[in-house]
Structure 1
Amino acid sequence: MLKKIGFPLVILFSITGIILSYMYNQQQIAEIADEATSSIPVEEPETNEETEVEPDIDETVSSGWLGSHIEKDSSLTQKVVFVGSSSFTSTESDRDWPSLVMKETAHAITATKIDYEVLTYSGETVSSSLIADTASDITAAEPTILIVESFSLNDNQYYLPFTEQESVDNLSLFLTHMESELPDTEIIVVPSNPFPNALHYLERKNTLDEQASSLPGTYVDHWVAWPTGEGLESVTQNLRPNDEGQEIWSEAFLEFFIDS
C-alpha cells in the first residue's frame, strides 16, 4: 500500500522540482539581461538641423550698390551727404527725395548705422564758384558717400551763355576737387531733374550722358523713370519737382541704391 502511494508522490515531487528549477533559471536569465541592457550607453540620435546664421547685410540691400559698398567697407557707420540745388525740395511742401531715399534705406538695412545730411545751394551753378562755396561744407560733413546733383538745371536757367561742354568740364573739376579732399569717399553723380518743353537743357543733359563715364564717381541716370509729355508737366512746377516728382526721383534712385 505504501509503495503504491509513495511512487506517485516521488513522481509529483520530481515534476514540481523540475518546474521550480526552470522558473528559477528563467528569472536568473532575465536579471542578467536587464543588467546587460542598463550597462550599455545610450547614444543620442544626431540631428541634422543647421544653425541659421544671420547675414551681415540684409538681402534687400546686398544686391544694390549700397550693399556692395558696405561689404568692402568695414566701417560700422556710413555718412551719406547729398549736395544739390532747390530741385532737392518739392515745390509743394518740404518733401525731398534724399530724405525719402534714406527713410527707405533705414527700413531695409539693420547691420550698419547710416546717417545722412542734405546740403542745398539754390542759386549756385556748377559754372560759378561752386567749389569755393560748398567744398568746406561738404568736407566738414565727413561723408563716406557723397551724392552730387549735376547742377545742370541751374546752369541752364541762370547762365545759358555757358556751353554744354563748359558745364561738364566744370562739374568734372568740382568732382575732382572733392575726390582730392575726400580720397576715401565714394562719389555718386545724378543729373538734375527733367522738365517739359526743354530745348538747350536737353542738349546739356545729352552732353553729360555722353561724358559721364569720364567723371569721378558713379553716374546714376534717373530720367528713364520720369513720364513724358503731359505726364511730366503734372510732376513738375516752375521747372522743379513737386511732391510726386520727388517720389519718382527717390524711387528711381532706390532701384540703384538698395535694389528696392
Structure 2
Amino acid sequence: MLKKIGFPLVILFSITGIILSYMYDQQQIAEIADEATSSIPVEETKPSEEIEDEPVVDETVSLGWLGSHIDNDPYLTQKVVFVGSSSFTSTESDYGWPNLVMEETAHAIDTTTIDYEVLTYSGETVSSSLIADTARDITAADPTVLIIESFSLNDNQYYLPFTEQESFDNLSLFLTHMESELPDTEIIVVPSNPFPNALHYLERKNVLDEQASTLPGTYVDHWGAWPTGEGLESVTQNLRPNDEGHEIWSKAFLEFFIDS
C-alpha cells in the first residue's frame, strides 16, 4: 500500500522540481538580458539640419571693375560700347583691342549676359564735331558701360592749332553731354595710343593726365604698358597700333576691367 502511494508522490515531486528549475532559469536569462540592454549607450538622434548651397563666386570677376559693376545688378544684361578713332582697329587686320578685351571677358564671366559694340570715327576730333557726329549713335546703342577714347591723337593729327587745354575742355564737354543723355551709364575714358617721336602730342597727354580726375567717369591710363624707343616703333604703324600694339592695349585694359 505504501509503495502505491510513494511512487506517484515521487513522480509529482520530480515534475514540480523540473517546473521550478525551468522558471528559475527563465528568470535568470531575463535578468541577464535586461542588464545587457541597459549597458548599451543610446545615441540621441538629432534632427537633420538643412544645408543651404552657397553661391559660387567668380573670383576673377569679384576683383575687377566689371565685377563690382555687375554686383550692383547681377541679372541685368550688360551692353558695353567702345567709342574711338581708327586707333581702335589694327593697321594689320580688322581686329582691335576692344574685340580682344571682350573675348577675354566672355571667358572670365559666364554668369552674366554681356553684349558689346564698337563705334569708330576716323576723322572726328573732340575739338571739332564729336558731339554732333557720335552722341546720337551712342545713345541709340543704349550702353550700360561706355568706354571712350580721348581722341587726342586725332586732335593732334588734324587740328594742331587747338591748344592742349582746348582739347581737354572739349572732351570734358562731350563727356558731360553723354552723362546727361545716359545718366545710368558708367563711363570709362582711355587715352589714345602712344607713338614714337611725339612732341605736341605728349603735351596733350600730360594735360589729360593732370585733369582726368575732373572728367565724368573713370580714367584708365594704359601708357605704362607700352614699350619705348624702338620697341614702340615695332608695335605702331602710321601712328596707330598694329596687331602687337592692340595686344598690349587689351592686356593693360584687362588688368583694370576684370583684373586679368
TM-score bracket, normalised by the shorter chain, equals: 0.7 to 0.9
Distance in 2, matches of 1:74 and 1:45, equals 38
Distance in 2, matches of 1:78 and 1:65, equals 13
Give the aligned partner of residue 106 of structure 1.
Answer: 106
SS at match of 1:103: helix
Asked if structure 2 preserves the Cα contact closer than 8 Å seen for 1:58 and 1:110, the reply is no
Give the aligned partner of residue 127 of structure 1.
Answer: 127
AA aligned opposite 2:55: E
Report the count of equivalent residues: 255
Distance in 2, matches of 1:218 and 1:70, equals 16
Task: Give the TM-score normalised by structure 1.
Answer: 0.86
Give the aligned partner of residue 23 of structure 1.
Answer: 25
Give the aligned partner of residue 226 of structure 1.
Answer: 226
Distance in 1, matches of 2:62 and 2:213, equals 24
- Relative distance call for 1:133 and 1:51 in structure 2 (3 A) is same
In structure 2, stretches of 5+ residues that fail to align are none
- The 5 A counterparts of 1:190-205 are 190-205=190-205
In structure 1, stretches of 5+ residues that fail to align are none
SS at match of 2:171: helix
AA aligned opposite 1:104: E
Q: CA deviation at 1:231?
A: 1.3
For the aligned residue pairs, the C-alpha RMSD in angstroms reads 3.2
- Relative distance call for 1:94 and 1:43 in structure 2 (3 A) is farther
Give the aligned partner of residue 246 of structure 2.
Answer: 246
- Relative distance call for 1:20 and 1:174 in structure 2 (3 A) is same
1:5-59 per-position Cα deviation (integer Å, ceiling 9, x unaligned): 9xx999987875564233211444477789999xxx975457789544124x522
Give the aligned partner of residue 54 of structure 1.
Answer: 55
Asked if structure 2 preserves the Cα contact closer than 8 Å seen for 1:144 and 1:185, the reply is yes
Distance in 1, matches of 2:123 and 2:213, equals 27
Give the aligned partner of residue 145 of structure 1.
Answer: 145
Give the aligned partner of residue 179 of structure 2.
Answer: 179
Please tell me whether residue 92 in structure 1 is matched to residue 92 in structure 2. Answer: yes
SS at match of 1:165: helix
**Identity over aligned residues, as a percent?**
74
1:57-95 per-position Cα deviation (integer Å, ceiling 9, x unaligned): 522111111111122246521111000001111111122
SS at match of 2:125: coil
Task: Give the TM-score normalised by structure 2.
Answer: 0.86
Distance in 2, matches of 1:220 and 1:138, equals 20
- Relative distance call for 1:61 and 1:123 in structure 2 (3 A) is same
Distance in 2, matches of 1:176 and 1:259, equals 28
